[in-house]
Amino acid sequence: MGDPKKLTGRPQLKEGKRTRWVNVRFTDEEYKEITELEQELGKTKTELIRMRVLTDMKKTVVNSKELIRYLDSAGAEMGRVGNNINQLAKYANTLRLKGRLDPSVASEFNLLFKECILVQKQLEAALRKIIRAMGN
């Protein structure tokens, strides 16, 4: 009689074997949240953490100090642009009252002003996206 083949469980992985460990510590409250998610979603804690870290890693890791510095400089630049627009509008109104305003200058100003408003709306939309991404 030959030895019957032993069944030792799941077959060995040849590729994709996880051999590295990462230890993480949580507060009691954080651990409770993860446990609730585990029960709610039917996934293990390891799967939940792996999914969150690996799927969202590239889009949510942000250097907040650098981001705030850039946002501050963008806000300051938008303030300077607004100040320049106000000065140009005041000067154009002064020329108009004196009857020396060329209509082509007014139409060119209006086109540039519309473009400025469009850029400002795009900046606001981008900022909303950034804020939403940071909240996730």
Residues 123, 79: contact at Cβ < 8 Å? Answer: no
In the DSSP assignment, the letter for residue 10 is S
d(CA 112, CA 118): 10
Residue 105's SS3 state is helix
pLDDT digits (tens, 9 = 90+) for 47-67: 888 888 877 655 545 567 778
Pick from 67, 55, 51: which is nearest to 130 by CA? 67
**pLDDT over threshold 90, residue 28:** yes
N- to C-terminal Cα distance for the chain? 63
pLDDT digits (tens, 9 = 90+) for 125-134: 988 887 777 6
Quickly tell me which residue has 């030792």 as its tokens. 8
pLDDT grade, residue 29 (50/70/90)? very high
Q: What is the pTM of this model?
A: 0.48
CB within 8 A of 7, min separation 6: which ones?
none
What is the reported pLDDT for 27? 95
Q: What is the mean pLDDT of the chain?
A: 82
d(CA 117, CA 37): 44
What is the reported pLDDT for 51? 81
Q: For residue 53, what are its two tokens? A: 């870290």
